[in-house]
Structure 1
Amino acid sequence: MAVRGNNLDTVRRHNLSTVVGLVHRSGGLSRSRLTTLTGLNRSTVAALVAELVELGLAVEELPEGNRTVGRPSPLVRPHRDAVAIAVNPEVDAITVGVVGLDAVVRSQVRREVDAPPSPEEAVRITAGLVSEMLSELPASAVILGLGVAVPGLVRSVDGVVRLAPHLGWENVPFAAMLAEATHLPCWGGNDASLGAVAERNFGAGDGVSDLIYLNGGASGIGGGMIVGGELLGGIGGFAGEFGHTRVAGAAVPGATLEDEVNRARLREALNIPGVDSEQLERAIFSARDDDAVAEIDRQVDMLSTALRNTINILNPALVVLGGFLGALYEARTEQMTRLVGLQTLGPAFDDVAIARAALGDEILLIGAAELVFDNVLDDPAQLTNVAAQHPVE
């Protein structure tokens, strides 16, 4: 669907935002294609692109291998040095990454912790990692801000973590604390909701208007919903907590989905002491021990029931599974598909596909960066290199 712009000079900022948004989400478009998508004339698009180049957000280059007659339309791509800093605090580690405007993770560092960090400890660790990563960026880098993917309920208006039960945080102004510590503008959101946005824009959900994303991680199971092409956040931004729904057939009455479909229980059954996701996935695929296979099958059954409920209620076109849930699905694709089909209303099952997240372990960093890009690119004309103005101490 075309994103319409406007040729009036009074809405130049809107047009600039429209063009950079298209370039960001596509990874690069020709000037002629931008003209078609926006409805703007060629000279207006050329001027807007020139401004984005000057701001350090875009680069222009001639297409490779062009064989068309006449002058080729230049390609407009995101500038590789326009970046966001992305943060994912978890119960076992804090991960910080540099993500380009092209949605490519340039670098990342995972700092493991012995126990769930307090907000103050998480800020201290994060600020130190951010400082190190900024020092490694080129002087020309345009630092657009910092985004945080939190495993908990994050109030959308101000980034306050209302509740992150596994971290033990409640009413923590985490985004504001990080902004003060790093001197970077900062935005926070729920990790799984940001994962849904990342998969919708750049992963398995590219082009899909209605999808559900479920993430399985150290803090349990979270979810995000894209409805009509927009993230469904609810009144406070807390929607999508599928992990806290009760499941039938649990050994303990009142147990939730994340109690029963649980990474720690998988690791114990498979005798995997570490937290390496690739190691866990290999163990799931190679499991032969009867108890381990039984635990995998039990979790697949529980997850299938949860997916049945989700599909029947929300009627998505796609369900995307990330984290260890994606590994369970890939290891038991036929089994899970059959179980979901048996429990889901026929027409709803006919309309839905199930897929593993395409962005892998980088999904939450890419999602956190989208928070930054969404806010900054809404008015790129106001852009300043915030890191150069406010270096981390």
Structure 2
Amino acid sequence: MSIAPGTAELVRRANLARTLVAVHRDGPLSRAALTADLGLNRSTIGALTAELTRLGLVTETAGAAEGRIGRPSPVITAHADVVAVAVNPEVDAVTVAAVGLDRSVRARRRVPSTGLIAPDELALLVAATVREWRGSELAAASVVGIGVAVPGLVHPAAGRVVHAPHLRWTDAPLADLVGTATGIATTVGNDASYGAHAEYLFGAARGETDVVYLNGGASGIGGGLVVGDVLVGGARGLAGEFGHNPAVFEDAADRRSGERAALEDEVSRHRLVAALGLPAADDDELRSALGASVNPAALEEVHRQRRVLASAVAGAVNVLDPAVVVLGGFLATLVEIDPDGFGAAVARQTIAGSAPLVRSAELGDDRLLVGAAETAFARLLDDPVATMSAVGSTSSTRPDRL
């Protein structure tokens, strides 16, 4: 916020941000709950929610009677028509979604690809998708930002993809490309870090202070770390890249790649799809196919990958001592076949002889998109007034019209 410190306006703007964050992350909330949670008086909360309503960021409805004397406290809900567009390019498809400030997925599209998409092609695809949605699903919406979740090394502050090996992108100014094509402020980050952030805020790791997150996608295995309530990026943004660690085997017979194989060489969605005899599959299709398969070779591949993954998780537990390990993408599918058995395999290889909670990502296929959207919402959540003013100044009709 560019307000002189110590002024009443700074305090008001800060309290607006606190109120919006609370409703976005915990809502819907009653005015009474906001009063208690934020430590502000009722009249201040009333003024703040009225301002957020005027800005079009929340809605206010009558609360339900709870058997107490007096009028029910109004309920404040983040507005579904304030949206961020989330994008996840992968080697086999590009997924685009519109995520509301209330965390609802307003629109979603998966565009399969037969070849690798280039950064400038991705920018044009996103622009065309948003333009189409503005005439249909998002006709009444305000788009406040775009977040792109990339499977690779990213410099978030510069909006630049340093290296995404599976997409074959190097030094790509992706935020500039997408922002120019759409006219919408764009952020770019690592997909697994976005997934970790989303699960920490809204999913399987909510309320935990120390978390290991592993994400399995078409490009391989990435990860994210939360240590002491802080999302850890590392000196170069590479923290949590478990997929590049050497694979470890309890049984040497489980090795399928060379002596220097990485975890993602051995635990691979591509290997699972091939074992099932499928030409391609997204996570839902893979889950369904594995559940229905009676092919001994496919089932053995599943159990082999579970054993290798358990060793990798145990190694992470021994180093980081998390309270919970969250697995997303096809890794969750592997574990869900027998969660107790997987937990026992991890515990057998940990120092303490016990394992932390191992959970599947609660946000499912939306985890990376919700994380990307959360980053796109960051400016708005930090300063609602300045952001909505900036968004409104870009168009005389609708701020995000292309």
| Fold conserved between structures, TM > 0.5 | yes
- The verdict on how the C-alpha distance between 1:28 and 1:7 changes in structure 2, with shifts beyond 3 A counting, is farther
For structure 2, which runs of at least 5 residues remain unmatched after alignment? 1-5, 250-254
User: Segments of 4+ in structure 1 off by > 3 A?
Assistant: 6-10, 137-140
Distance across 2 between alignment mates of 1:370 and 1:10: 24
Q: Deviation digits for residues 223-265 of structure 1, max 9, x if unmatched?
A: 0112222211113333211111111243411111111000010
Q: Which residue of 2 aligns with 1:3?
A: none
Matched, 1:321 2:327: yes
Q: Which residue of 2 aligns with 1:291?
A: 297
The correspondence for 1:367, drawn from 358, 365, 371, is: 371
Matched, 1:306 2:312: yes
* Shift in Å, 1:9: 4.0
Distance across 1 between alignment mates of 2:272 and 2:369: 25
- Compare 177-186 and 139-148 and name the one that shifted more: 139-148
Amino acid of the structure 2 residue aligned with 1:127: A
Q: Which residue of 2 aligns with 1:356?
A: 360
The correspondence for 1:256, drawn from 233, 246, 262, is: 262
Write the mapping of 1:158-177 to structure 2, written as runs, cut at 5 A: 158-177=158-177
The correspondence for 1:333, drawn from 335, 339, 345, is: 339
Amino acid of the structure 1 residue aligned with 2:399: Q
- Compare 305-314 and 272-281 and name the one that shifted more: 272-281
Q: Deviation digits for residues 109-140 of structure 1, max 9, x if unmatched?
A: 11111111111221122221121122224554
Amino acid of the structure 2 residue aligned with 1:361: D
* Shift in Å, 1:282: 2.1
Distance across 1 between alignment mates of 2:173 and 2:72: 50
- Compare 199-208 and 298-307 and name the one that shifted more: 199-208
For structure 1, which runs of at least 5 residues remain unmatched after alignment? 1-5
Write the mapping of 1:369-388 to structure 2, written as runs, cut at 5 A: 369-382=373-386, 383=388, 384-385=391-392, 388=398
CA contact (8 A) 1:284 1:331 kept: no
The correspondence for 1:389, drawn from 396, 399, 402, is: 399
Distance across 2 between alignment mates of 1:333 and 1:66: 40
Count of residue pairs the alignment pairs up: 385
Percent identical residues: 45
Amino acid of the structure 2 residue aligned with 1:315: D
The correspondence for 2:350, drawn from 344, 350, 359, is: 344
- TM-score normalised by length of structure 1: 0.94
CA contact (8 A) 2:186 2:376 kept: yes
CA contact (8 A) 1:213 1:319 kept: yes
Q: Which residue of 2 aligns with 1:207?
A: 207
- Compare 278-287 and 34-43 and name the one that shifted more: 278-287
Matched, 1:39 2:39: yes
Specify the SS of the correspondent of 1:253.
Answer: coil
- Compare 9-18 and 356-365 and name the one that shifted more: 9-18
Distance across 1 between alignment mates of 2:139 and 2:266: 49
